[in-house]
Amino acid sequence: MLGRQLDTGITNFDDAFYAQKAKEIYESGNLWIVTLAGTPDFANPPLPFWMMALSYKIFGVSSFAAIFFSALFGTGVVVLTFRIADHLYKDSWISFAAPLILIFPGIFIDSARRAMVDVPLAFFVTLALFAFLKAKNHKPWYLIFGLATAGAILSKSVLGIFPLAIAFFYLVFNRQWKEIVNPFLVIGTLLSLGLGFTWHLINWLEFRQEFSSTHFGVFIFNRGFGVIENPFYFLGYAEDFIRNYWPWLPFALIGLFQFAKHGFIEKDENSLLLFLWPTLVFVVMSTSVNHTLRYTIMIFPALSIIVAKTFSDWLDAVWKERMITGLVGIACLTTLFVNATPIQAKVTLGSSSKEVRHLASIIKLNIPENIKIGNFKLSYWNPKHAMLFYSDRDLEPPVTKKEELLMQSQSNPKKMWLTGTSQFKSLNSQTPGSFYLIQANSKYAFFTSSGNRDFVKYDFSEMKIPHVK
């Protein structure tokens, strides 16, 4: 799962967004106030960033370090999927097949080597529900359930409360009223909420209205559950699964139908839990304005067990052996393919940041700290985050007109700019002699005015801070 990061770096978009926030926590030592480019950022709680910062402490700031713990969390999800399947069915075939189904297709593996928060969230949700199952026979496991749920909340805010919701509906549908008020469960629930929302409380006390209106108003309600004009928008996740969850989708749907029947009609508790887990998450997430497949990674363990159990009920011993052999081979090929080729699953939000990383040293050498890079016709967000991570330099909002670029270059000839390589070629042909190319690669061009060419630095010998690898 640590695959290509040693070569191509992190993804330009959300990967760099999260990796940079972790870098600022690492550099500042402030664990509770998350910043981006030095400005408080209220989008996400800090637990995944703490893990990244710890990784930076161990390995140094690098692309590899940024995704190290995400890969470990991904491995943990695989192990927990095995443990849950084994706990529920005591069937070695189901226990072995479920993790193999989890890692194929490559969406899960691709997510597990990204510097993002979805796989840590999936780990804590899966751990919480595993602890909930174990608590049936040993009540202190409810404390682990609470701590894991707190980890989920500290990973992705209110999405982390799904274990509490799943457990609640499970107990209600099973009419286990006494279990709802079990002291260990009550304490575990209080732990989950008390610890999980610590970051929210600290930031609210520090920033008050600014925090609540931004985190809850913008990121939770507006971006999560804002006004939807298209009445069929809730089908967005269904469309994603139809396109990307093959070959398991038909078997998952059949399995969900069977598990619903076993759970609600035949009162099978195992089936009920495995039905509620993906269904509740899917229904709630489908009401969101923002449909992104990786947000649903937390339901993949349950779907994998459902598919494995469905096949186990259908196949005889010979076909089970053949299927396991095939799954092992496919899983190995998937892992190799995802990590050794430039092909990226749908979960990926942008191209590799290798080109940004290659320009980082020359940018850091020539642009003083706290001075922004001029932006000609590049997106505001991409490669802004990657540039921050690799060079510690921020990108200005984009200038889209050539006339504005020329005017700014005349008023401030020492200003340095970034644009697309093809865009620079076009600009240079239209205004020959106006600009000097400092360095470029296949994707980006770093340039300044021709009058500033004699002041461009190329001597790296006195550079104190090495570039991020």
Selection from 284, 19, 319 nearest residue 159 by Cα: 284
Which residues, 6+ apart, have CB-to-CB distance to 425 below 8 Å?
none
CB 319: neighbour CB atoms within 10 A?
11
- Per-residue pLDDT of 120-131, as tens digits, reads 999 999 999 999
Contacts of 423 (CB under 8 A, 6+ apart): 376, 377, 445
For the ranges 28-32, 173-177, 227-231, 442-446, the lowest mean pLDDT is seen at 227-231
Find out whether 46 and 385 touch, Cβ atoms under 8 Å. no
CA dist., res. 357 & res. 391, Å (int): 8
Outline where 103-235 has alpha helix (H): 107-112, 118-134, 141-156, 162-173, 177-180, 183-196, 198-207, 209-211, 223-225
How far apart are the C-alpha atoms of 354 and 425, rounded to whole Å? 21
Q: How far is CA 210 from the centre of its chain?
A: 25
Residue written as token pair 């290659």: 358
Given this model, what pLDDT does residue 160 score? Answer: 96
Side chain identity at residue 386, one-letter code: A
Q: How far apart are CA 418 and CA 383, in angstroms?
A: 10
Q: Which amino acid is at 185?
A: L
Higher pLDDT, 6 or 282: 282
What are the residue boundaries of the structural domains of the chain, listed by start? 5-340, 354-455
Range of weakest confidence among 4-13, 60-69, 314-323? 4-13
CB within 8 Å of 137: residues ≥ 6 apart:
none
Cross-strand pairs, 35: 40
Q: How far is the C-alpha of 77 from the C-alpha of 86, rounded, in Å?
A: 14
- Running DSSP on this structure, what letter comes out for residue 420? E
pLDDT tens-digit profile of 327-382? Answer: 777 667 666 665 555 555 444 445 557 788 889 999 999 999 889 999 999 987 77
Lowest mean pLDDT across 142-151, 243-252, 259-268, 324-333: 324-333
Q: What is the pTM of this model?
A: 0.89
Q: With 90 as the cut, is the pLDDT of residue 287 above it?
A: no
What is the predicted pLDDT for the residue at 379? 86
CA nearest neighbour of 192 among 281, 132, 120: 132
26, pLDDT greater than 90: yes
pLDDT of 159 above 90? yes
pLDDT at position 315 is 75
Per-residue HEC secondary structure of 231-248 comes to CCHHHHHHHHHHHHCCCC
